Amino acid sequence: MSILGRQSVSNDKYEIFAYDILYRSNITDLYSTDLSTSASSIVAVLNDFGYENVIGTYKGFVRVDTEFLSNDIIYSISKQQFVLMILQSSLADEKLPERLNELTLEGYTFGLNDVIVNEDSIKRIVSLVDYVEYIKIDVLESDSYLVDKLIKILKLKNKIVIAAKVETDEMYQAYKSKGVDYFQGYYIKRPKIIQSTAFDASQEQVLQVWNLIQNNAETREIVNTLEHNHALVLKLMQFINSSFFSFRTKVSSLSQIISLLGRSALSNWLLLFMVTGKNKNAPTNHPLLLMVINRTEIMTGLLKLVKPDASQSDIDTAYLVGMLSLIHLLFEIEHREFLHKLRVTDEIEEAMFEATGFFGQLLVITRFIENADTKHLHEYIDKYNVNLNNLNSLINEAMIKVNIFDEMLKNEF
């Protein structure tokens, strides 16, 4: 049985370049540290999930070893969409350069995956530079001085350098100054918090509508307040009539939107639209925004697996917890400050900060799923008796939903 996840690889403008595919082929193998090995991961991506669902329109980074490179299954891989990232454990294989040369001539693209740069590895890394296009550096474990030296060599060779495991804004800024091309890591989830926590007038209007909905205001009052924000209404109309929902008839009024979506769903989408209009210079497919969509889909889907008789109120709460666990980062605002503006319940606040209660546990499981962390996930799989086939279907459906949302944002807004 397998668990699959993906992490975005982005440039310094937060634009996604590729997805790094995270995979475990055996959930009971608690001591495996390799998240994506050889043929099994490729088979899972191509057959079980469908590569178009996993990577969408982006490149896919897949970890491989020398055993895989000698297997004929390599010829079933799309040369245009996948980059084969060689594990550091394979770098010492004497036959590797010859095999890479053969496959490069056939049109395959290679990279080095999460290399730890030290005295022992740097010579081997440099010796393979002519056969690879991407070098992903583990910035946590590498020797800083040797990393600087390696980056200078790679830049002279016009290679693409990726800083992996970048966990803070300070690390991000440091490697950006070194000329790194792309970044992967939790820095994207933890941006530097700005001093101001104020929203502009347009965003305050959305918060006003959000609170009206939470307080069960009359539909007419909600519509009247929304109508003061013409740009938001236009965006909402475009969105509701997009392929993301695929309603049979064209929606033409705000009252109709409230009726079709429901009040809770509308209030949550309004929060996301606050983000897409926050910075005109920021890409609408910001990785964090897509992570919000993925997390809410996983949270609500997981709820239905764990509690098949869940009420609509339970589903709305799961969705809100998933959204509010990330959305404050999109505004670069302190988490509790943002929640206080929304006047959320103690149950929701405790779910996010103390991981307590049923919804707090759902959030913990969702985070493990996002990172394909089977070492910790297995405990909850057993506790809640979750069927792994159903879980994989949920993960796949969430990826598809994110891809549709991503394309909708790029094409229609």
Q: Among 95, 94, 178, which Cα is nearest to 137's?
A: 178
- Bridge partners (DSSP) of residue 9 are 18
Dihedral over Cα of 71, 75, 76, 77: its sign: positive
Predicted model pTM: 0.79
Tell me the per-residue pLDDT of 267-322, one tens digit each, with 9 for 90 and over. Answer: 878 877 776 655 455 455 578 888 888 999 999 999 999 999 999 889 888 988 99
CA atoms of 372 and 27, how far apart (whole Å) = 9
Does the CA dihedral 311-316-319-320 come out positive or negative? Answer: negative
The per-residue pLDDT string of the chain (413 residues; one tens digit each, 9 = 90 and over) reads 567 788 899 998 888 999 998 877 654 443 344 434 455 566 666 667 788 888 888 999 988 888 888 888 788 788 888 999 999 989 989 999 999 999 999 999 999 999 999 999 999 999 999 999 999 999 999 999 999 999 999 999 999 999 999 988 889 999 999 999 999 987 655 444 333 445 666 677 777 888 888 788 888 888 888 887 777 787 788 778 877 777 777 888 888 888 888 887 888 788 777 766 554 554 555 788 888 889 999 999 999 999 999 998 898 889 889 988 887 777 767 788 778 777 778 888 888 888 889 999 999 999 999 888 888 888 888 889 999 889 989 999 999 989 988 887 776 55
CATH code of domain 3-189: 3.20.20.450
Task: In whole angstroms, give the CA distance from residue 172 to residue 175.
Answer: 5
Residue count of the chain, please give it: 413
Could you identify the residue written with the tokens 């390696």?
150
What residue segments make up the domains of the chain, in order of their start? 3-189, 201-412
Instruction: Say yes or no: domain 201-412 is CATH 1.10.150.120.
Output: no
The tokens describing 101, both together, are 């040369």
- For residues 357 and 348, what is the distance between their CA atoms, to the nearest angstrom? 9
- CB-CB contact of 73 with 44 (8 Å): no
Q: Tokens 């475990």 correspond to what residue?
A: 24
Helix runs in 162-310, H state only: 169-177, 201-214, 219-226, 230-240, 254-261, 263-276, 287-306
The 3-state secondary structure of 319-349 reads HHHHHHCCHHHHCCCCHHHHHHHHCCCHHHH
Dihedral-angle region of residue 158 (phi above 0 means left; psi in -120 to 50 means alpha; beta otherwise): left
Per-residue pLDDT of 141-188, as tens digits, reads 999 999 999 999 999 999 999 999 998 888 999 999 999 999 998 765
pLDDT of residue 162: 98
